[in-house]
Amino acid sequence: KDKYNLALIFILIIGFAIRLYYLILTKAQAEWWDSAEYLSTALHWAFGLPYDINSQRPPLFPLLEAIIFKLGGTEFLLKIILELIPSTLAILISYLIVKEMYNKKLALLTALFISVFWLAIFNTIRLHADIPLILFSYLSVYYFWKGYVKKEKNYYIWLIGIFIALAFLTKLS
């Protein structure tokens, strides 16, 4: 019944479709060096393949990859679970953040921009830690604003801390 919710659903579908299109288009593309490093670490942890782990890389992203590999997943499934879904969720969370801070119109515009932003799409089709980092960072901002600033509930600090920690364990920046 709410035209803003209908517009948001449309934006989410468009954002998901664009990301899925490019993901399918580039599925046979070679991995970038940092993606390959994450994959090598994940394969070392999942199957014991010989690899000297780079201690400068945070452990969460390759750990999630290793878990998916252990469960029988493929590289394409990794991209769907760790990139496509979080990237689409980042569109939704960006909408929720701006809606809480300003209004629904500006939130829809923000979601639309993020749904077609080339850098988000670029990182969605590669196994980079940037998309999960963005999602965890957005979630920490959302819980900070909605829970701590607006509602002044101290238990939201725990959620903020959890998502900041997940972001830090995903990528140090």
DSSP-derived secondary structure for 55-118: TTS-SHHHHHHHHHHHTT--HHHHHIIIIIHHHHHHHHHHHHHHHHHS-HHHHHHHHHHHHH-H
pLDDT tens track for 128-146: 999 999 999 999 999 999 9
Residue 80 has a pLDDT of 97
Please compute the mean of the pLDDT values over residues 113-119 and round it to a whole number. 97
- What's the whole-number average pLDDT of the chain? 95
Write down the pLDDT at residue 152: 81
The answer to whether residue 121 scores a pLDDT higher than 90 is yes
Judge whether residue 118 has pLDDT over 90: yes
CA dihedral 159, 164, 168, 173 (to 10 degrees): 160
Eight-class DSSP state of 31:
P
Confidence band of 164 (pLDDT split at 50, 70, 90)? very high
Whether pTM > 0.75 for this model: the answer is yes
What is the band of 147 on the pLDDT scale with cuts at 50, 70, 90? confident
